[in-house]
Amino acid sequence: MKRIVTVQDLSCVGRCSLTVALPIISAMGVETSVLPTALLSSHTLFPDPAICDLTQQIPSITDHWKKIGVRFDGIYTGYLGSLSQLDMMAGFIDEFGGEGFVFIDPVMGDHGRLYSGFTREYVSRMARFCGRGDIIVPNITEACLMLERDYLGDSYTEADLREILLGLTGLGAHKAVLTGVSMEPGKLGAAAYDGDRGEYFLCMGDRTEGSFHGTGDIFASVCVGSLAQGYSLGQAVEAAVEFTCESIRLTAAEQRDRRFGVNFEGALHLLTDSAR
Q: Which residues bind ligand PXL (CB under 6 A)?
A: 9, 11, 16-17, 40, 43-45, 79, 107, 115, 214, 216-217
Q: Shortest approach of ligand PXL to residue 51 CB, angstroms?
A: 8
Nearer CB in complex with ligand PXL: 11/169: 11
Q: Do 193 and 237 meet the contact criterion of CB atoms below 8 Å apart?
A: no
Distance between CA 93 and CA 84 in Å, rounded?
15
Vertex 109, ends 168 and 129: CA angle to 5°? 40
Q: How far is the CB of 249 from ligand PXL (least distance, A)?
A: 19
> Can you spell out the DSSP letters for the chain?
--EEEEEEEEESSSS-HHHHHHHHHHHTT-EEEEEEEEEESS-TTSSS--EEE-GGGHHHHHHHHHHHT---SEEEE----SHHHHHHHHHHHHHH-TTSEEEE----EETTEEPTT--HHHHHHHHHHHTT-SEE--BHHHHHHHTT----TT---HHHHHHHHHHHHHTT-SEEEEEEE--STTEEEEEEEETTTTEEEEEEEE--SS--SSHHHHHHHHHHHHHHTT--HHHHHHHHHHHHHHHHHHHHTS-S-GGG----GGGTHHHHSTT-
> Please, which residue, 16 or 236, has the CB nearer to ligand PXL?
16
CB of 120 to ligand PXL, least distance (A): 18
Residue closer to ligand PXL by CB (options 167, 216) is: 216
Smallest separation (angstroms) from ligand PXL to the CB of 269:
23
| Residue closer to ligand PXL (CB basis): 190 or 193 | 190
C-beta of 71: minimal distance to ligand PXL in Å?
27
Min dist. Cβ of residue 54 to ligand PXL (A): 12
Of 74 and 106, nearer to ligand PXL (C-beta) is: 106
Q: Which is nearer to ligand PXL, 2 or 15 (CB)?
A: 15
As measured in angstroms, the least distance from the Cβ of 245 to ligand PXL is 17
Is the Cβ of residue 162 or residue 258 nearer to ligand PXL in the bound state? 258
